[in-house]
Amino acid sequence: MFLFDGPDQARITILLAHGAGAPMDSPAMTAAARTLAGTGFRVARFEFDYMAGRRTGTGRVPPPRAEKLNPQYAAAVDALGAKGPLIIGGKSMGGRVASMVADELLTARRISGLLCLGYPFHPPGKPDQPRTGHLAELQTPTLIVQGTRDDFGSREEVSTYKLSPRIDILWLADGNHDLIPRKSVSGYSAADHLKTMAEAVSAWAERVTTQGDRHRLLGATTSHRRC
């Protein structure tokens, strides 16, 4: 069910779902997972049922509406059974689905944060049709890694949307929806952006998981005192 990268005994696990049109082992997903694993994370990738079905010869089934996939994401969290801090997220649609289940999982103290790689803020070419309603009130600590020329949400377009203060955005110069820049334009390579992404995720994840551990400890202490 899962593809794993990174050390088995990593303190933090990241669970990633794929985008709408490409599987969990696409070049973009593989590059991101391996780069994150290289900084010490345990990275698990999984596929929604419609995408997994394409591997069994049942045809190219189109993705359902994103919210229909919420139960499958929650089931993946259950199946993974991470023992330490867990961050959920994904590429494009996978990150969007994770964002719709994140607050419930955070309230249940099952996750520490949300990581979105190339968030689909709107359909390509349609910035007036934002997919951001739930992001305005999101309570889960979130890091969105976005290319400045992403067709699903450029820096200029995203600046007009109302987003929760719990959301941080790392903008990668000239990156597209796969975070890939044009080196002749930006001076950066895809490898440069992946390295920047992984370093930022590492610092952010350390902060939010440490805060989560502190909150859990305070909760346990309060419960003990009430007894």
Over residues 154-195, the pLDDT tens digits come to 999 999 999 999 999 999 999 999 999 999 999 999 999 999
Q: Is the pLDDT of residue 217 over 90?
A: no
C-alpha 165/C-alpha 142 separation (Å) is 9
Q: Which residues pair with 5 in a beta bridge?
A: 43
Contacts of 3 (CB under 8 A, 6+ apart): 24, 25, 33, 44, 45, 46
Instruction: Give the model's pLDDT for residue 110.
Output: 97
Tokens of 185: 């334009």
Q: Angle at the Cα of 185 (from 199 to 95), degrees rounded to 5?
A: 45
Q: How far is CA 170 from the centre of its chain?
A: 13
Which amino acid is present at 108?
A
- Number of other CB atoms surrounding residue 150 within 10 Å: 24
Which of the residue ranges 54-58, 124-128, 197-201 would you say has the lowest mean pLDDT?
54-58
DSSP code for 141: -
For 29, left (φ over 0), alpha (ψ -120 to 50), or beta? Answer: alpha
Question: Kind and range of the H or E element at 212?
Answer: helix 190-226
Is the distance from CB of 17 to CB of 49 less than 8 angstroms? no
Whole-number average pLDDT of the chain: 92
Q: How close are the terminal C-alpha atoms of the chain, in Å?
A: 41
| pLDDT higher than 80, residue 220 | no
* Res. 222 pLDDT band, cuts 50 70 90: very low
